[in-house]
């Protein structure tokens, strides 16, 4: 079956004419045949027209994966409106802001987690915040178009495939995603090129799609399979047990997901019987897989061939794609050859286009087959598309056989002492280790080198974490300056809503851990917050005692405890000045924050003072000892220090205090 139509609706209609009773989409409610799918799109189109949706209107689509999501998407485009695909995991306030930025005037909504919790009230709140009138909202829940009477869809006689059809938001980790404008033509070209690039016979395939439809991977992957007459199975969410159940029930022979879904599926009870026998093709999205990972996947999914394609929302969507007939080493170490019809080059701002084998930025050119631009973001458009070339922000090179290799993101390059280090290179070496399931490498500030390399790993089930052993193995293949200064163990990595590892959150957690480690290291010796020398005269006792009390207040001691600390400091100084000196001398005071207590450390050259000896005869000594939690007299270099320790109040967090007061510079 070939795709010849110029819109998705017409291409689906062509498939339905040939395979009316074949399964098209299955979800938690059952299965739509192709005839029923077309009937549903037609009926939904009529309802949208009745709601007031007209050509050019922007219609937000907010729902978890289901057949009705696909129905509504196609219907919105069929009536000539623009579908704005909303991420169902974003907070309501963020969604409302995105809707306002993209001029949304209608809201089509279905099952989402907020709706699960609060019902229609959640959709009403979103519409209100976005300025969408209540009468312009449309509830997809419970609509079974399969049993509805056939409806004649409003004919759209101006369906131009290369005009704006829908908006997808990028899945990056910036404050708010960018709205990418895409035409149907892009998706149709991708569907046609996919069959050629992958050399797969996708007809009669049952694809389990574990990617959100609001993301380009989900909507594009579903479209390119369904337009060849294949069966799409849509789990609502992507928990391993649920995915395994769908694969087993529908005998899915293809699976599209991010790498973490494949890894977690391998640990599902009964995997070898329930999942592994069925999958013939695995599409890994979101990250590059290494030869070691591919070997693990293809060993576990014993009948499957794995493909790791490369795409980007802005490229709408595929940039490079491997073939099932490519050698294993190419499938594991590259993302395939440039996608049919797309001109892919390697570019350097100073040198221009680079020759084979040299690393630079991957740029793509293909008139009409990349995004139409960011919606109402002219400055971003000017930076991203230059002289017709889409700048991906990804680093890579093309080898002598024409395969594209990814080397990392430009913004993720670590610059250590002037050396450029690709995180991806180190991640690949970590993933070669049998003990490591997932790896991320990020840069962290360093006072000398500018940045240092920090690795983060999720261990394979049952594997022990041994940082020294990992560094020893990495040292066999990496230059010394590329070796991580730290390796942190994670139970799991945070992910973006599209399933990719969230590098921004990983980096934030790394910096927090490093800060905590620095705090622990500094506290082990004590962190000096105030240190000064005073003359041993009685005139200094009251001012110094007041200063000590002030520090105690800042550290969080309550009024009663501060009075104790002031009393102890005042009386200790009185004792030293009265009994330790015959002449004027110096007393040094060092106020230190320790792991669980604040320490007042007095040092001087006066006569030794044995407070324990004087306790029985001196009321002042007894009163001082009653106020302190610990008293000690360490000696270093022939000089005594008299240490008065006071435990922090139970509510005081020394780590938080140090973070807030920036004591780690």
* Average pLDDT, integer, range 510-536: 79
Could you give phi then psi for residue 185, rounded to 5 degrees? -55, -40
Q: In which band, very low, low, confident or very high, does the pLDDT at 172 lie, cut at 50, 70 and 90? A: low
CA of residue 466 relative to chain centroid, distance: 25
Q: Kindly list the distances between the CA atom of residue 310 and the CA atoms of 5, 93, 553, in Å, as whole numbers in the listed order.
A: 26, 32, 57
| pLDDT, greater one: 639 or 342 | 342
Find out whether 390 and 432 touch, Cβ atoms under 8 Å. Answer: no
Whole-number Å distance between alpha carbons of 495 and 583? 68
pLDDT in tens, 8-50: 999 999 999 999 999 999 999 999 999 999 999 999 999 999 9
Of the candidates 343, 392, 349, the residue with the CA atom closest to the CA atom of residue 369: 343
DSSP 3-state of 412: helix
Find out whether 435 and 472 touch, Cβ atoms under 8 Å. Answer: no
* Average pLDDT, integer, range 277-286: 92
Q: Which of 118-132, 143-157, 337-351, 624-638 has the lowest mean pLDDT?
A: 143-157
Find out whether 15 and 229 touch, Cβ atoms under 8 Å. Answer: yes
* Average pLDDT, integer, range 350-376: 91
Q: In which band, very low, low, confident or very high, does the pLDDT at 54 lie, cut at 50, 70 and 90? A: very high
Find out whether 266 and 300 touch, Cβ atoms under 8 Å. Answer: yes
* Average pLDDT, integer, range 291-313: 91
pTM of the predicted protein model: 0.73
The pairing of strands 254-258 and 281-285 is parallel
- pLDDT value for 162: 72
Q: What percent of the chain has pLDDT over 70?
A: 94
| pLDDT, greater one: 401 or 605 | 401
Cβ burial 39-73 (10 Å sphere, 16+ → b, else e): bbbbbbbbbbbebebeeebbbbbbbbbbbbbbbbb
Find out whether 367 and 378 touch, Cβ atoms under 8 Å. Answer: no
Q: In which band, very low, low, confident or very high, does the pLDDT at 157 lie, cut at 50, 70 and 90? A: very low
Whole-number Å distance between alpha carbons of 38 and 54? 20
Q: In which band, very low, low, confident or very high, does the pLDDT at 660 lie, cut at 50, 70 and 90? A: low
- pLDDT value for 173: 46
Q: Give helix then strand counts, H and E, for the chain.
A: 22, 34
Q: In which band, very low, low, confident or very high, does the pLDDT at 459 lie, cut at 50, 70 and 90? A: very high
Whole-number Å distance between alpha carbons of 571 and 559? 18
- pLDDT value for 538: 81
90 dihedral zone (left: phi>0; alpha: psi -120 to 50; beta): beta
Find out whether 59 and 106 touch, Cβ atoms under 8 Å. Answer: yes
Q: What percent of the chain has pLDDT over 90?
A: 63
Q: In which band, very low, low, confident or very high, does the pLDDT at 158 lie, cut at 50, 70 and 90? A: low
For residue 495, what is the DSSP state?
Answer: B
Q: CATH assignment of 526-660?
A: 3.30.565.10
CATH class belonging to 413-522: alpha beta
Find out whether 168 and 215 touch, Cβ atoms under 8 Å. Answer: yes
Find out whether 648 and 595 touch, Cβ atoms under 8 Å. Answer: no
Structure-token pair, residue 560: 């009663």
Whole-number Å distance between alpha carbons of 12 and 161? 14
Among 17-26, 583-592, 616-625, the range with the most confident prediction by mean pLDDT is 17-26
Q: In whole numbers, what is the pLDDT of the chain averaged over residues? A: 89
* Average pLDDT, integer, range 148-154: 67
For the chain, the structural domain boundaries read 413-522, 526-660
CA angle centred on 534, ends 533 and 539, rounded to 5°? 165
Non-local (6+) Cβ contacts of 93 within 8 A are 129
Non-local (6+) Cβ contacts of 398 within 8 A are 344, 346, 356, 357, 404, 405
| pLDDT, greater one: 129 or 516 | 129
- pLDDT value for 153: 61
* Average pLDDT, integer, range 397-402: 95
């Amino acid at each position: 079956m070939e795709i010849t139509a110029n819109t998705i609706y017409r291409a689906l209609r062509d498939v339905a004419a040939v395979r009316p009773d074949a399964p098209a989409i299955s979800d938690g409610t059952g299965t739509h045949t192709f005839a029923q799918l077309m009937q549903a799109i037609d009926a939904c189109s009529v309802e949208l027209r009745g709601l007031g949706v007209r050509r050019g209107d922007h219609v937000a689509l907010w729902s978890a994966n289901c057949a009705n999501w696909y129905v509504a998407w196609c219907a919105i485009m069929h009536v000539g409106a623009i579908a704005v695909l909303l991420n169902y995991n974003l907070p309501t306030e963020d969604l409302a802001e995105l809707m306002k930025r993209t001029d949304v005037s209608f809201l089509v909504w279905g099952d989402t987690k907020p709706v699960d919790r609060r019902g229609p009230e959640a959709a009403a709140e979103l519409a209100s915040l976005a300025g969408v009138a209540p009468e312009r909202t449309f509830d997809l829940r419970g609509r079974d178009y399969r049993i509805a009477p056939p409806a004649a869809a409003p004919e759209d006689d101006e369906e131009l495939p290369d005009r704006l059809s829908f908006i997808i938001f990028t899945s990056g980790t910036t404050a708010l995603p960018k709205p990418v404008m895409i035409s149907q033509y892009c998706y149709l070209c991708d569907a046609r090129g996919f069959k050629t690039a992958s050399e797969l016979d996708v007809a009669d395939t049952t694809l389990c799609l574990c990617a959100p439809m609001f993301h380009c991977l989900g909507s594009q992957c579903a479209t390119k399979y369904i337009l060849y007459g294949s069966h799409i199975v849509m789990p609502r969410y992507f928990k391993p047990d649920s995915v395994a159940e769908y694969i087993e029930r529908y005998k899915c022979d293809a699976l599209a997901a991010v790498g973490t879904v494949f890894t977690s599926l391998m640990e599902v009870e009964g995997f070898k019987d329930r999942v592994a026998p069925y999958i013939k093709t695995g599409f890994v999205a979101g990250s590059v897989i290494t030869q070691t990972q591919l070997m693990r996947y293809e060993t576990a999914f014993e009948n499957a061939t794995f493909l790791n394609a490369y795409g980007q929302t802005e490229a709408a969507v595929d940039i490079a794609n491997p073939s099932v007939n490519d050698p294993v080493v190419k499938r594991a170490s590259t993302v395939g050859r440039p996608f049919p019809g797309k001109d892919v080059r390697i570019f350097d701002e100073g040198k221009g286009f680079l020759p084979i084998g040299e690393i630079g930025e991957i740029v793509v050119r293909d008139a009409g087959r990349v995004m139409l631009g960011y919606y109402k973001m002219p400055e971003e458009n000017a930076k991203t598309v230059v002289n017709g070339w889409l700048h991906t922000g990804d680093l890579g090179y093309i080898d002598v056989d024409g395969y594209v290799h990814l080397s990392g993101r430009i913004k993720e390059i670590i610059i250590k002492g002037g050396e450029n280090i690709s995180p991806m290179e180190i991640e690949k070496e970590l993933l070669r280790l049998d003990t490591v399931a997932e790896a991320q490498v990020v840069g962290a500030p360093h006072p000398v080198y500018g940045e240092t390399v920090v690795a983060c790993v999720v261990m394979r089930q049952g594997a022990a974490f041994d940082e020294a052993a990992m560094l020893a193995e990495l040292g066999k293949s990496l230059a010394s300056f590329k070796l991580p200064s730290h390796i942190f163990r994670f139970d799991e990595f945070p992910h973006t809503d599209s399933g990719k590892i969230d590098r921004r959150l990983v980096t934030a957690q790394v910096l927090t851990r490093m800060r905590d480690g620095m705090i622990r290291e500094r506290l082990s010796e004590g962190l000096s917050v105030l240190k000064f020398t005073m003359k041993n005269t009685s005139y200094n006792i009251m001012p110094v005692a007041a200063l000590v009390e002030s520090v105690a207040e800042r550290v969080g001691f309550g009024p009663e405890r501060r009075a104790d600390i002031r009393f102890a400091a005042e009386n200790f100084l009185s004792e030293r000045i009265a009994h330790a000196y015959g002449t004027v001398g110096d007393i040094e005071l060092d106020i230190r924050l320790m792991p669980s207590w604040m320490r007042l450390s007095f040092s001087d050259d006066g006569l030794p003072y044995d407070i324990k000896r004087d306790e029985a005869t001196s009321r002042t000594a007894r009163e001082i000892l009653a106020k302190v939690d610990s008293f000690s007299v360490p000696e270093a270099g022939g000089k005594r220090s008299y240490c008065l320790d006071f435990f922090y109040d139970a509510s005081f967090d020394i780590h938080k205090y140090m973070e807030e007061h920036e004591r780690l510079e």
